[in-house]
Amino acid sequence: MHNLVKPVVIVQGVVEARLFDELKGKGVTEVYVLEGRPTLEAARRASAELLKRGMTPTLISDNMAGVLFYKNLVKEVWIAFQYADEEGAACDIGALILGVLGKRHGVPVRLFPSARKTNFLGRSQDLLSFLSKRIAPKGVEAFVPLVEWVPAKYISAVPKPLAEDLQDAHV
């Protein structure tokens, strides 16, 4: 059953599995997972990891997060990052809008290391097809960025090891 009464945690991108241990340790039992188009890898990985821990994953389309924010149903967001510094972070695509929405709605947006490095651009056929079936007419082009920059002003917390690394780098 979907928890649409109390605020939820959203996870975006392919995060390291230890995030789910941390969330479970905080008493989180249900996590809303963004699908992670075009490959849906984020949904597959996060769902499997949550189920292993006895937690309930609820999959949502990337744009559904906006509705959850609008209805004040988001208490925390975790986004996968590949690189971060004091200026911001290179994150899986879809993270920027979550950062903007988080700031607008006063919801913390936290970084967590990505479980894998990704290319900056994906393949056109990944966006023009769904489950290996072409959904766009011939002649349609696709722009498939897989990584985007999220400025620091949209990030609530930098992971402790990263924060220490950044501090050490400026000494």
Domain boundaries of the chain, sorted by first residue: 8-119+148-169
> Length of the chain in residues, anyone?
171
What is the rounded CA–CA span in Å between residue 105 and residue 100? 9
What are the C-alpha distances in Å from 90 to residues 11, 77, 82, 109? 16, 16, 6, 14
pLDDT given for residue 21 in this prediction? 94
Residue 136 pLDDT? 84
Instruction: Tell me the pLDDT tens digit for each residue of 60-115.
Output: 988 889 999 999 999 999 999 988 988 899 998 889 999 999 999 999 999 998 88
Q: Is the pTM of this model over 0.85?
A: no
Q: Which CATH number fits domain 8-119+148-169: 3.30.230.10, 3.40.50.10470, 3.40.50.2300, 3.40.30.10?
A: 3.40.50.10470
pLDDT at 27: 92
Query: For residue 64, which phi and psi values (nearest 5 degrees)?
Result: -65, -25
Which residues neighbour 113 within 8 Å (Cβ) at sequence distance 6 or greater? 15, 16, 80, 81, 159
Task: Judge whether 79 and 98 are in contact, CB under 8 Å.
Answer: yes
Give pLDDT, residue 100.
95
Q: What is the pLDDT of residues 130-167, one digit of tens each?
A: 777 888 888 888 877 778 999 999 999 765 555 454 44
Q: Under DSSP, is residue 168 helix (H, G, I), strand (E, B) or coil? A: helix
Q: Is 119 exposed, middle or buried (0-12, 13-18, 19+ CB in 10 A)?
A: exposed
